[in-house]
Amino acid sequence: MSLQGGPLHIPELLDLILSFVHAPRDLRRCALVNRSCAHPAQSRLFSSLDLRRNSQCDALSAIFATSPHLAGFVTTLVISAQEDLSFALRQLLAVSFPFLTTIRFVADINVVPVYVVDLDVMRSFLGIPTLISVTVETPFKSWDEMGRIWNGCSPNIKHLSYDLMFTVAPSFTPSLSGSMEMSRRIKLDSLNSKAFSKDSAPWRHDPGCPFDVSGLKAFGFHFGMTKELVDVLSPSLDTIKILSLDAYSANDRQVSRFRAVTQLNIRHYQTEGSRSFNAIRVMHPDVRNRISAIRFQVYFSGEHDLLSLDAELGKVHEYFPRLQTVVINLHPSKLGTEEFKEEFKQDVRAYRWNPDPGITVRCNFESERSIPWHTEIV
């Protein structure tokens, strides 16, 4: 028996079957009913854990205390590092997560007070040696606080996503004390910034800055490009190959300063996905002439959006002469009822794209397949 041309073994078959099971309760039942399903079901249950409530942390601590092998399935943690969770989180720090690669620090400002962060807890989690990717959406009182969490962090961190507009209050000076001088900067492969204050540009030259952006391969930003931001990235303007941006920032003249870009990731959060393509038509010709791959991240409302985008792709070589691959990441979470979502997915899978000859078009559903933004399209 084969699947997509390759041999299908029993573990692969079980994994395929369980890919259609999404509810945690149903996955637990699968693990209990059939021993063969236990491993793949546990993997799906524990691969990504949400640690934003005391009850969640306490429950997981109890589970790992009796079944420590389950921690081996954990690859992603979503953590609220607020002080009221400190005790529960410290209990989980005693657990070994041998395959943890991703951490996302978040804060629910509608529930807990802002600027009450346990820096020691954050620093301890960042010290897990297998860690590769970090997202920080947690607010700090100052740049000095933000810098302190990186002392002793994993040397393997390569991917960082920061919300600098939200992370540091604008009234604070972006400099770090001399006592905070870093012995080793974190050399990043990718950096994603939701916003960037012009006052933070000198921070890169501060001895306390924890990040080395001189050899970035991927960079993403939101809410417009600024000259100050590009100046901070000046050491890597000849190394960044993947540029991720919102559709309406694509025509900013600062984008043309990225001299090595070959792949665009375009975010668009409205319906009518063709608008995303319309927006990037007006990019600087020097950029468009280098692009070989584009990934759209859009919400679609129906088949008419596919038709609109398809019509634009039919003229793609007119604007991107070297384009070879287009990947469209659909967000069915915005498409109404579950029944409608499934019907829409079937329509998309059956849809026959008609791009220019030589261009490949692929569709992914975000809820089914999460692709890191900094991943190169192949």
Cβ–Cβ < 8 Å for 105, 122? yes
Helix axes 54-66, 86-93, angle to 10 degrees: 20
Task: Please tell me the pTM assigned to this model.
Answer: 0.79
Q: What is the pLDDT along the chain (378 residues), one digit of tens a residue?
A: 333 444 434 666 666 666 656 556 666 666 666 666 777 777 778 888 988 888 889 989 988 988 898 899 999 999 987 777 888 899 999 999 999 999 999 876 555 444 467 888 999 999 999 999 999 887 777 777 777 888 889 999 999 988 654 444 444 444 444 445 566 788 999 998 876 666 566 666 677 778 888 899 999 887 667 777 788 888 899 999 999 887 767 667 788 888 999 998 887 655 444 555 666 777 778 888 899 998 877 666 666 666 666 676 777 777 888 888 888 777 655 555 666 666 666 766 666 666 666 777 777 765 544 567 778 876
Cβ distance 131 to 106 under 8 Å? no
The pLDDT assigned to 217 comes to 95
pLDDT of residue 370: 56
The ranges assigned to domains in the chain are 1-45, 243-250+261-378
DSSP for 253-284 reads: GGGGG-TT--EEEEEE-SS-THHHHHHHTTS-
Give the pLDDT confidence score for residue 146 in this predicted structure: 78
Predicted local distance difference test score (pLDDT) of residue 179: 44
Closest of 168, 266, 258 to residue 216, by C-alpha = 258
How far from the centroid of its chain's Cα atoms is residue 204's Cα?
23
What is the predicted pLDDT for the residue at 74?
Answer: 94
pLDDT of residue 7: 42
CA end-to-end distance (rounded Å), the chain:
27
pLDDT value at residue 92 = 92
CA torsion 11-347-363-277 (nearest 10°) is -170
